[in-house]
Structure 1
């Protein structure tokens, strides 16, 4: 039996499931009656990890985002991984918005997580490693307490707890 147990806190999305959610949303937009003859569309750029949404007006854009969120939820992709950009005027009286997908834990957020974990008062150590935070402790129950605390009080973007040993 190991002396110390550990897990990593990461923030990532399943890109295959995200792709499937986008394809399903694109299909629904193509066949829905209220989108017939409009410029409503979704483009997914896997390399840059963002989505470009196009619509005739702001109301329609909000509907496109709602369709996308429904498909993401059905595929098990965290909806709060979407970060909305600013609304832009596009060609032919249409609007565009670029949504980015949150992946990785930035250094400032990692420092906040480590500080939060220390404030809990549980005997565990947290350290920043690239875009993740590793938490180690002697008892599995203490690590599970940290996970439960972060699920309640963590950041607004999704966190996953992996490599539990």
Structure 2
């Protein structure tokens, strides 16, 4: 990381690179991309699974490039990018759910998940793998709450659900994970 001459703080470098990138500087955007790829990748993998993560990452950074002019620098660039990424993932999740709604009831039941579990009791799934076995709605809320640190009120606003729904889905996800990991 090459610090900016002024203070050298990464957030200052991000702010400067964001301004340059918004003005069309592709090299500045590439520096932002390299600094934030790991966090965006981890978020995309946790919320969508590794199969979809690569497409999501590309879509997130394309959207960031398109919306850089909206970054005001009032918060850290990483915070802005994280929010943009979560919003895009939620948007994609909603459209996929809407497409599936016409095909079936929209999700796996707990029994489907548990029956798909390997029959060898000595095999313990790690948390990342276990999260992928949680139905999408519950997984999304679990990741937002327990991994990313969002409060239920924030999740409710973000996803357009009731606070009680957020709490119930979090409980469901935790119960499934507890069963899968024990």
- TM-score bracket relative to the smaller structure: 0.3 to 0.5
- Tell me which of the two structures has the higher relative contact order, counting C-alpha pairs closer than 8 angstroms and 6 or more residues apart: 1
Give the helix-richer structure, 1 or 2: 2
The structure that is strand-richer by fraction is 1
**Alignment TM-score, normalising by the size of structure 2:** 0.32
Q: TM-score normalized by structure 1?
A: 0.34
Larger radius of gyration: 1
